[in-house]
C-alpha cells in the first residue's frame, strides 16, 4: 500500500509561526520535543502494519502516533485512549471532540469488561415536542444546527472516568493535544475540503469567528492552529472536570447557547456524569463477541443479526453475492424494526434486551425467511415483546492485551456547526438522535417512537458499536466505525468477513458495504459494490440505491503469534501506529 505524506507548504519554521502563542500562553512543546519521530508538520498515513507489542488505529495519523508513543512510554491502552481522544478533538474536528460524547468498551487482561457511557444527555429544559411547530411538524434544522441541537457534552467526563484504569498522570495525557492545538498541525486534502465546505455554516451558526474560518480557502498543507481550544484543554489539564463543566469553559458554553436559543445551563453541565453499562455478549462460531448496550442500539443489533444468520452456512454462499447479501439484509430488516420500537435510554425506557437477543425470540423472527426471496418491511414489523455520519472510532490493544474500543461523536460532521466562542470547540447536534416525533425520520432516515422520545436527562438512542472479540477467552480483535445507523451493519459485515469469509482485517474493512435499516425498504450499496450482485438482488425484488462511502472502520487484531495487526479504513485518512 502506497504511503501518503502530509506535509507543510510553509517555508517558514512553524516554531517561529507559533512563537507569539508560546509566550502569551506559556506553553511548552514537551511532548513533541521528547518524541522527535512525530512531526505534526510532516507525517505519513499508514493503512496497515504489524507491531510487536501494541497498536492504535484511528481516524488520524497524529492521534494514532500519540497513542502509540504513550504506550511506548509505559502507558497502557487506557492511557493511550485518553491521549487519542483529546488529540482527535484537535486534529479531527469533524468528529473527534470534547463537545460531544461516546462509548468506551474495554476488556482488561484479567477478563474484566468495562462499558462506559459518556453519551450526551438532554438538558433539564428539554421536552418531548421541543422541535415541533404549532402544527406538530418538526422545524427544519432546529435539531441539527445551532445551540438548540446540542445535548450536554460527555466526552471530558468520560475521559476522566477512564483515567481510573490508566497509569500515567492525566496532565501528561492531555499535553500532546494542547501542543497540537497551540502549535498547530498540517491538514490533509480531505480536512481542507471539510473545513471549506462548512465555512458558511460555521459563520452562520457561531457567535464569533474561530480558528476554522479564515479569509482564504483552506488547502492541503496549511497549518491549523487553535489557540482557544489550547486554552480550554489547558484548563482541563489543570482543573480536571471543573476545567470544562465549571468556570470559564462552562461560562463560554452557556454564553454560546444564548446566541442561538440553546438551553444548556451551568447547572446541566455541573450535573453531568458518565454511567457504566453492562456490555452485550454473545457467541458466534467459536468467537465471543462483546459490544455496547443501550443507550446504544449497536450491541443488540449486532447480536440479533449475527445470531439470526448463524444457523446458515454463509461461507458457502461466498462474499457479497446475492445469496449472502440477501440473507444478511433479511436479518438487518428484522433487527432494525426492533430498534425503532424497543430501544432507548434504559434509565427511561424498559429495553427488553434479554428477550431481543434470546435464541427463542430470534428463532421466531427468522421463521418466515425464505432464501432468495425478498422480505417486506410492510409485513416485517418489530417483534411483539412480552416482558415487563459523523462519528469516529478508534481501536487500541496494548502489550499486556488490554483492549479498548471507543466510538465518539458530534453526530453530524462538525456537529451543530457551532464553535463555542472563547473555548474553540464544536458542539454536538446529538439531540437529532432522539425521535422528534413518532414515525418522523431523523437525519439518518431512522424512525422511532416513545422509547426514544425526548425527556429531560435522557440519553438519545445511538447506533455506535465499539466491539471486542475474544477467542478461547483470549483477546483477539477490537473494531468499530462511524456512520450513524449504518454502524451496526458495518461491524456486522466486517466481522462476518473475518470469521466466515476468512478475510484479513484490512480486506474485510475495505470491502464494499451494504446497508438496510427496515425503513426505507431499500438496500444502500457503496459505489464499488459488485454490479452483478446488484443485478441479482434487483431480480429478487430488492430496491437498491448506490451511494458514496459509509463509515471508516478501524481495528486491531492479535495474530496467532501474538503480534498486533492494525488496519485503518481506505475510506479516509485513517492511520495506524504502534511499536
Cβ at position 234, least distance to ligand GLY in Å: 28
Stretch that binds ligand GLY, among 52-60, 158-166, 313-321, 457-465 (CB under 6 A): 457-465
What is the phi-psi region of residue 417: left when phi exceeds 0, alpha when psi lies from -120 to 50, beta otherwise? left
Q: Give the integer Cα–Cα distance in Å for 282 and 291.
A: 9
**Residue with smaller CB distance to ligand GLY, 423 or 446:** 446
Which runs of E-coded beta strand occur in 170-211?
185-186
Taking alpha carbons only, the member of 24, 118, 66, 103 closest to residue 576 is 66
In angstroms, give the least distance from the CB of 485 to ligand GLY: 7
CA distances from 37 to 9, 66, 160, 255 (A): 19, 11, 28, 41
Near ligand GLY by CB under 6 A: residue from 210, 463, 486, 575:
463
Whole-number minimum distance, CB 357 to ligand GLY, in Å?
19
Note whether 411 binds ligand GLY by CB under 6 A.
yes
Which of residues 41 and 103 has its CB atom nearest to ligand GLY in the complex?
103
Check residue 391 for interaction with ligand GLY (CB under 6 A): yes
Sheet holding 48-51, edge to edge: 48-51, 564-567, 554-558, 474-480, 467-471, 287-291, 280-284
| 3-class DSSP state of 531 | helix
User: Which residue sits closest to ligand GLY, CB atoms considered?
Assistant: 462
Which of 11, 170, 14 lies closest to 79 in space, CA to CA?
170
191: how many CB neighbours lie within 10 A of its CB? 22
Taking the least distance from each CB to ligand GLY, the nearer of 93 and 176 is 93
CB of 472 to ligand GLY, least distance (A): 32
In whole angstroms, the minimum distance from the beta carbon of 301 to ligand GLY comes to 11
Q: Would the CA dihedral through 285, 571, 39, 198 be positive or negative?
A: negative
CB of 296 to ligand GLY, least distance (A): 7
CB closer to ligand GLY out of 95 and 357: 95
- Residue 356 Cβ vs ligand GLY, minimum distance, rounded to whole Å: 18
Select the residue interacting with ligand GLY from 222, 256, 330, 433 (CB under 6 A).
433
Residues contacting 320, CB < 8 A, separation 6+: 511, 512, 514, 529, 530, 533
Residues 223, 195 contacting (CB under 8 angstroms): no
Q: With binding defined as CB under 6 A, does residue 205 bind ligand GLY?
A: no
In sequence order, which residues have a C-beta less than 8 Å from that of residue 179 and are 6 or more positions away? 27, 28, 29, 30, 31, 32
Out of 353, 391, 409, 486, which one is annotated catalytic?
391
Quick note: the x/- pattern for ligand GLY over 149-168, rule CB under 6 A, is --------------------
Q: Which of 409, 413, 486, 490 binds ligand GLY (CB under 6 A)?
A: 409
Which DSSP category does 452 fall into?
Answer: G
Is the CB of 117 or the CB of 433 nearer to ligand GLY? 433
Kindly list the distances between the CA atom of residue 237 and the CA atoms of 8, 67, 160, 339, 421, in Å, as whole numbers in the listed order: 28, 17, 11, 39, 20
Selected binder of ligand GLY within 61, 105, 464, 556 (CB under 6 A): 464
467 binds ligand GLY, rule: CB under 6 A? no
If the CB atoms of residues 243 and 483 are measured against ligand GLY, the closer one turns out to be 483
- Asked whether position 121 contacts ligand GLY by CB under 6 A, the answer is no
Grid cell 470491502 — which residue? 511
353: annotated active-site residue: no
The answer to whether 462 contacts ligand GLY (rule: CB under 6 A) is: yes
- Check if the beta carbon of residue 564 is closer than 8 Å to that of residue 53: yes
Which residues are tagged catalytic? 391
Residues that bind ligand GLY (CB under 6 A): 391, 409, 411, 430, 433, 462-464, 484
Amino acid at each position: 500500500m502506497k504511503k501518503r505524506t502530509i506535509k507543510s507548504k510553509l517555508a517558514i519554521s512553524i516554531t517561529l509561526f507559533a512563537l507569539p502563542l508560546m509566550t502569551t500562553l506559556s506553553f511548552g512543546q514537551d511532548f513533541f520535543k521528547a518524541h522527535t519521530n512525530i512531526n505534526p508538520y510532516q507525517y505519513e498515513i499508514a493503512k496497515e502494519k504489524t507491531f510487536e507489542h501494541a497498536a492504535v488505529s484511528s481516524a488520524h495519523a497524529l492521534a494514532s502516533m500519540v497513542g502509540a508513543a504513550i504506550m511506548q512510554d509505559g502507558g497502557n491502552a487506557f492511557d493511550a485512549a485518553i491521549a487519542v481522544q483529546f488529540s482527535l478533538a484537535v486534529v479531527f474536528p469533524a468528529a473527534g471532540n470534547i463537545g460531544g460524547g461516546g462509548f468506551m468498551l474495554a476488556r482488561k487482561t484479567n477478563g474484566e469488561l468495562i462499558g462506559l457511557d459518556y453519551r450526551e444527555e438532554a438538558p433539564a429544559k428539554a421536552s418531548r415536542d421541543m422541535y415541533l411547530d404549532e402544527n406538530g411538524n418538526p422545524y427544519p434544522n432546529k435539531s441539527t444546527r445551532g445551540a438548540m441541537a446540542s445535548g450536554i457534552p460527555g466526552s471530558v467526563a468520560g475521559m476522566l472516568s477512564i483515567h481510573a484504569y490508566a497509569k500515567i498522570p492525566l496532565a501528561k495525557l492531555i499535553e500532546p493535544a494542547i501542543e497540537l492545538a497551540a502549535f498547530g498541525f498540517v491538514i490533509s486534502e480531505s480536512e481542507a475540503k471539510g473545513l471549506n465546505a462548512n465555512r458558511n455554516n460555521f459563520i452562520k451558526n457561531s457567535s464569533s469567528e474561530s480558528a476554522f474560518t479564515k479569509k482564504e480557502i483552506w488547502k492541503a498543507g496549511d497549518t491549523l492552529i487553535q489557540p482557544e481550544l489550547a486554552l480550554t484543554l489547558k484548563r482541563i489539564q489543570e482543573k480536571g472536570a471543573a476545567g470544562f463543566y465549571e468556570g470559564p469553559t462552562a461560562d463560554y458554553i452557556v454564553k454560546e447557547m444564548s446566541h442561538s436559543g440553546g438551553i444548556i445551563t451551568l447547572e446541566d453541565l455541573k450535573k453531568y456524569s458518565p454511567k457504566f453499562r453492562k456490555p452485550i455478549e454473545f457467541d458466534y462460531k467459536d468467537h465471543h463477541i462483546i459490544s455496547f448496550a443501550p443507550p446504544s442500539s449497536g450491541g443488540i443489533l449486532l447480536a440479533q443479526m449475527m445470531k439470526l444468520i448463524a444457523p446458515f452456512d454463509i461461507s458457502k454462499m461466498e462474499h457479497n453475492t446475492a445469496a449472502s447479501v440477501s440473507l444478511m439484509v433479511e436479518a438487518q430488516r428484522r433487527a432494525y424494526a426492533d430498534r425503532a420500537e424497543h430501544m432507548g435510554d434504559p434509565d427511561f425506557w424498559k429495553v427488553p434486551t434479554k428477550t431481543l437477543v434470546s435464541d427463542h425470540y430470534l428463532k421466531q423472527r427468522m421463521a418466515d425467511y425464505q432464501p432468495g426471496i425478498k422480505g417486506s418491511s410492510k409485513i416485517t414489523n418489530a417483534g411483539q415483546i412480552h416482558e415487563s455520519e459523523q462519528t469516529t472510532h478508534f481501536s487500541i490493544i496494548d502489550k499486556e492485551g488490554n483492549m479498548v474500543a471507543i466510538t465518539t461523536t458530534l453526530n453530524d460532521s462538525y456537529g451543530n456547526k457551532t464553535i463555542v466562542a472563547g473555548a474553540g470547540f464544536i458542539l454536538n447536534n446529538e439531540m437529532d438522535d432522539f425521535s422528534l416525533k413518532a414515525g418522523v425520520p431523523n437525519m439518518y432516515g431512522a424512525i422511532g417512537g416513545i422509547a426514544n422520545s425526548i425527556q429531560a436527562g435522557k440519553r438519545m438512542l445511538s447506533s455506535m458499536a465499539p466491539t471486542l472479540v475474544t477467542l478461547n477467552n483470549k483477546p483477539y480483535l477490537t473494531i468499530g466505525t462511524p456512520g450513524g445507523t449504518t454502524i451496526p451493519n458495518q461491524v456486522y459485515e466486517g466481522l462476518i468477513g473475518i470469521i466466515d469469509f476468512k478475510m484479513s482485517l484490512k480486506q474485510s474493512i475495505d470491502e464494499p458495504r451494504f446497508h438496510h435499516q427496515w425503513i426505507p425498504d431499500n438496500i444502500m450499496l457503496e459505489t464499488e459494490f459488485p454490479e452483478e450482485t446488484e443485478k441479482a438482488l434487483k431480480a429478487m425484488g430488492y430496491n437498491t440505491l448506490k451511494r458514496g462511502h459509509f463509515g471508516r472502520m478501524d481495528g486491531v487484531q492479535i495474530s496467532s503469534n501474538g503480534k498486533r495487526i492494525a488496519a485503518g479504513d481506505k475510506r479516509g485518512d485513517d492511520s495506524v501506529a504502534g511499536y
